[in-house]
Structures are given as C-alpha cells and as structure tokens.
Amino acid sequence: MQRNSNPQSRPPTTALPEIAPVVKSSAPLRTTQESVGSFWDMLGIRIVFLAVCIAAAFHFRPFSVSKEVGAGIGLLFGIAVILFELRLRHASLRRLIGAAAGSVLGLLGAYLTSLILTHTIMPESTRSFFSLAAFLVMAYTGLVLGANKGDMLNLQALGGLFGSERSLKHSFKVLDTSVIIDGRVADIADAQFLDGTVIIPQFVLHELQLVADSADPLKRQRGRRGLEVLQRIQKMAHLEVHISDDDFPHVPEVDLKLIELAKRYDAKIVTNDYNLNKVATLQGIEILNVNQLANALKPVVLPGETMRVFILREGKEYNQGVAYLDDGTMVVVDGARKMINKTIDITVTSVHQTTAGKMIFGRYDDRGEQQIPRPAPAVASAPAAHHIEPQTAPRVAEGGAGGERPPRPLYPEQNRS
C-alpha cells in the first residue's frame, strides 16, 4: 500500500487535469466553424431526402415490384446517395471541377459515338447495348481521370470566381507535436506572424497526452509545456483553432498522418522536425520551419566587426574560448582560454552558416587589454612622489635645482666625496 503512494505513480493522475481543459476547450472552438445548427440542418435535409426517395419508390414501384420492396429500394438508393455526398465533402474544389468536366466530356464523347452507331446496319438491340456501354465507360473514365487530374487545374486563369478558394488554401496550418512542445510557435502566433486557421489533429493531442503521462520527469514536463502552449494559442483572438477528428488508420506513423491531413486540407505544416520537413517537401507539401525562421532572424555579423561576448567555457582547440549570443549562436574565440567567465571585446574573423545554425569565429587580441592597466601604476606613483617630497626636499634645495629633477642632488654629493 505504501508503494502506491510513491511519486512515480502520481504523474498519470496529475497530467490528466491539464489535458482535460485542452480537449474540453476544443469543443466550442470547433463549433464556431461547424456549428450545431448546421449539423442538425444537414441531418434534417438528409432525412427529408430519404423520405422522398422512399415515397417515390413506394408509389412508382420500379422494376414492377411490390410497394414494400419498392420502398426498400428507395431507402437503399437514398443511403447510397448520402454516402456519396459525404465522400464528396472531403474533395477539394479542383477535384470537383475536374470530375465534372471529365464526366461532361465523357458523355459528349459517348453521344457522338451513339450517333455514329445509328448509321450502322447492326441490330437495334446490339446498337442499344453498345450505346449504353459507351455512355457508361466514357462517363466513368472522364469522372475518374478528371478527379485525379483536377489538382493540375489553374484556377487563377478562371478569374476572380475562385479567389476565395485560392485565399483559403494558404490559410490552413497544421501543427506538429514537436513544434507544440518547442513553444516558440506561440510567440510567433502572438506576434501575428501566424494567421488563418490552425488545425490540431486528435492524434497529435493523443501523442501529447502520452508524453504528459510518461513516467520520465523530463518527458512529462515537455508534455505539460505542449499543453500549456496549446491553451495559449487557443486564447488568441486573431486565430481560429480547429480540432480535427480526421484520422488515417491505415497510416501507422504520426508524421505520415500529418502529411495526409495537409493534403486533405491543402494546408501547410508548421514544424521544426528536419526529417518531416524533407519528406513533406518531397511530396509537395509546403512547410513552415520554425528553425529556419529563427536562423533568418539572427543578427548579421560581418568579418572585421567588433563584438563584446562573455567567455563561458574552454574550446576544443588550443587556447580557444567559447561564448554564446542571446539567440544561442555559438562564438568560438581564438586566444581567449585565459578569459573564461569574463566579458571581452573580440574581432570577428569568419561566419559559417550550417543546417544546424550559424557559427561565428573570432580572435581576441590580448595586447589591447594589456595596454589598459599600464597607466594605473603611473597614477599610483603620483601620490607616492608627493609622500617622499618632504624627504627629498632638502637634497633638492642643496642642489638648487628645484623639485622638477630629483636626481640632481646626487651630483653635489659625488663632488663632495
């Protein structure tokens, strides 16, 4: 019983209250975009549509069946149409336009084919079969090919009709787990460099909850920090936060799920993961990398400039010191090994930009520092000269040379001897 009260068993219970506000607060944010009224409206419309299909089939009795069987056929037909409509809701406007254009062109080609068949001498039944087959094949082929090639359409050439669709495409951003735990995305959003609609998938929230419930104190702290960052983002008035329920059970990895979600919403992925950046870029997904933004905002330093840095530790090479700027940039200083825990002025020799960040190399000139303490003994000797002035005054008076040249009293003493 005493082991159950140890600190290691408490983290799962302490992390849950912090996760709960995030999940609960996502509901009102989601209802701002998908309000409850619109859901019930769509449900009512679908019920009315099913009722009409059942009543029509019950009255007309297709295929000369009984009224009860006709009502069942109408119900199945209405359900099939609703399922097709739900599937189309996830399609983009480009795919819908491509599918519509492809099907119309297919039907046009099938109609021209049927006109040619009317001038043949084949029997009527065979001609009807080939005409129907041409309509089905051409319509189906045009629908599928048009939907698959719809992403290649240039909607800008169609004028301002699709301007809103074009503007909404770039307003969706999907947040990665790593960038949420990093926390800098909240500062970027607070500075209004991140706008539009921020999409937070449910599988990302689940991953954050697993990290916050971890037995490792470091992971648990990172998970809690990610939840606090989400709560901070949700309170920003200029952002719309959408908790997405979309999931891809056939995709095992979270990074690949993010890519599929970005494809579905035509969104950008906000991350600081290098591997996710490369994989998503290869698949044509636009990436907002926080690390690239941080490197771009670092101050520009040119060779020959003077910098004031604090030497923190010893470098790897001989007589090197290492310092860090406020943004985390490493500064390697030659000749600064003896100046650890001191603030010195260095001269920049070179700047190297790498994928991990920027490195600055500089040189410390100790000769300039050594010239500084030289005037100090001269200032200190001045009062000493004033102290010995009463002792040397008689000798100076004997020589009659005054107090400006103290060595002169030695010459009369040598002449006397």
Asked whether residue 291 carries a pLDDT value surpassing 90, the answer given is: no
- Mean local confidence (pLDDT), 220-246: 90
The average pLDDT across 40-54 equals 88
Cβ atoms of 94 and 153 within 8 Å: the answer is yes
* pLDDT given at position 2: 41
- The whole model's pTM is what? 0.46
The pLDDT, as a whole number, for residue 227 is 92
User: Average of pLDDT values for 1-8?
Assistant: 42
Q: Where are the alpha helices (DSSP H) in 64-158?
A: 67-89, 93-118, 124-148
Distance of CA 116 to the CA centre of its chain: 58
Across 366-383, average pLDDT: 50
Q: How far is CA 198 from the centre of its chain?
A: 10
User: Tens of pLDDT along 311-340?
Assistant: 999 998 888 999 998 877 889 999 998 899
How far is 288 from 230, CA to CA, in rounded Å?
18
pLDDT confidence bin for 232, thresholds 50/70/90: very high
Least confident of 246-250, 294-298, 345-349, 365-369: 365-369
Among 102-111, 229-238, 405-414, the range scoring the smallest mean pLDDT is: 405-414
pLDDT for res 165: 47
Query: Do 165-296 and 306-370 agree at the fold level?
Result: no
Rounded Cα–Cα distance for residues 134 and 110 (Å): 5
- pLDDT tens profile 161-196: 444 444 444 479 999 999 999 999 999 999 888 888
Tokens 């997904």 -> residue: 285
Strands 343-353 and 306-314 turn out to be antiparallel
Report, as an integer, the average pLDDT of 22-35.
39
Contact 348, 361 (CB under 8 A): yes
Architecture of the domain defined by 165-296: 3-Layer(aba) Sandwich (3.40)
pLDDT score of 26? 40
Tokens representing residue 268 in the block: 């950008």
Identity (one letter) of the amino acid at 152? M
Every domain of the chain and the residues it spans: 35-154, 165-296, 306-370, 375-405
197 and 171 Cβ atoms separated by less than 8 Å: yes
Angle between helices 202-212 and 254-265 (to 10 degrees): 150
Do residues 195 and 168 lie in contact, with contact meaning Cβ atoms separated by under 8 Å? no
**What kind of fold does domain 306-370 have according to CATH?**
OB fold (Dihydrolipoamide Acetyltransferase, E2P) (2.40.50)
pLDDT of residue 54: 92
Is the pLDDT assigned to residue 9 strictly greater than 70?
Answer: no
pLDDT mean over 393-405: 42
Beta bridge partners of 197: 172, 240
- 306: its two tokens: 């003077």
Instruction: Report whether pLDDT(402) > 60.
Output: no
Q: Using a pLDDT cut of 90, give the percent of the chain over it.
A: 26
Residue among 240, 326, 273, 235 at smallest CA distance from 31: 240
Distant-in-sequence, close-in-space partners of 20: CB < 8 Å, separation ≥ 6: none
Q: What is the mean pLDDT of residues 127-150?
A: 86
Statement: residue 23 has pLDDT above 70: no
Q: Which amino acid is at 346?
A: I
pLDDT at 38: 64
